[in-house]
């Protein structure tokens, strides 16, 4: 029987993380590197991700590869996979983490915005996974994790572009699950409200809104990027080797509202 250190030993593993300059992507990169993995950090924000990667290499001593990638462009994703294999010779796991969506009223969008939301949040994961599959199939305990969202499996008319794309992401991952077992495992995280710095304000949240959400969360705090990184590491690890097709909710217990409201 393997001990906990062996189950979470990622030495020799090569993991691609999209959106690696963001709060969750950078924390996942740092944590998985600390467990021994070589991390391929891809993001459109090249200078930011380069700095994060340099800090990680200094902290952990493990190699990284930094790539500037526009994940709405298929050729750039294909080039990311090629460069990963050229440098490391393999791909062990993928975290499809890139994605974003602003507050958009239900009938306040248009075709271009809806399509752009789908390209960034859903199609990017499809293309990255597609190009990685020939290499993942060669690896023991190969695994893909998708960063889903609570807006993708609940009614979310305030984020119609983002929520629709995230719903598509979840269903796409279910198809990959049944078509790819036992060669590759696929799992999704249903991520609740995360303290991801400026991105919350960019998405349209005010501090008052955030405070109101926190009041309702069972654990009375927003999640930290490390909370998500921990869940990602578990799903990629040997500890989860018999887990595929799950949608793991990481949301501090969610927002509870009494069934006997007083107001």
Tens-digit pLDDT profile for residues 136-151: 999 999 999 999 999 8
Mind listing the pLDDT tens digit for each residue in 233-248? 999 999 999 999 999 9
State the pLDDT confidence band at 197, using cuts at 50, 70 and 90.
confident
Beta bridge partners of 142: 184
Whether residue 262 has pLDDT greater than 90: no
Global confidence as pTM: 0.94
pLDDT value of position 263: 59
pLDDT confidence band for 24 (50 / 70 / 90): very high
Lateral strand order in the sheet of 93-96: 64-68, 38-43, 14-18, 93-96, 142-149, 184-191, 247-250
Pull the structure tokens for residue 262.
């007083």
Whether the per-residue pLDDT at 225 is higher than 70: the answer is yes
Instruction: State whether the Cα torsion 199-160-156-17 is positive or negative.
Output: negative
């Amino acid at each position: 029987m393997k001990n906990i250190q062996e189950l979470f030993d990622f030495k020799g593993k090569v993991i691609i993380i999209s959106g690696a300059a963001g709060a969750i992507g950078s924390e996942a990169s740092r944590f998985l590197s600390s467990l021994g993995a070589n991390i391929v950090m891809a993001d459109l924000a090249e200078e930011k991700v380069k700095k994060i990667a340099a800090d990680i290499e200094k902290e952990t001593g493990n190699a990284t590869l930094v790539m500037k990638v526009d994940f709405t462009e298929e050729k750039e994703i294909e080039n990311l996979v090629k460069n990963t294999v050229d440098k490391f010779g393999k791909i062990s796991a993928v975290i499809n983490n890139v994605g974003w969506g602003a507050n958009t009223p239900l009938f306040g969008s248009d075709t271009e915005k809806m399509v752009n939301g789908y390209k960034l949040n859903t199609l990017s994961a499809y293309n990255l996974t597609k190009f990685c599959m020939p290499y993942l199939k060669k690896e023991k305990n190969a695994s893909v994790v998708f960063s889903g969202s609570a807006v993708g499996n609940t009614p979310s008319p305030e984020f119609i572009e983002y929520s629709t794309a995230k719903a598509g992401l979840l269903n796409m991952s279910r198809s990959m699950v049944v078509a790819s077992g036992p060669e590759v495992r696929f799992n999704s995280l249903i991520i609740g409200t995360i303290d991801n710095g400026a991105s919350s304000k960019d998405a349209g949240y005010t501090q008052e809104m955030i405070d109101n959400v926190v009041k309702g969360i069972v654990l009375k705090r927003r999640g930290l990027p490390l909370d998500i990184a921990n869940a990602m590491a578990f799903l990629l690890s040997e500890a989860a080797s018999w887990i595929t097709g799950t949608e793991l909710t990481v949301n501090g217990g969610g927002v509870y509202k009494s069934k006997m409201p007083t107001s």
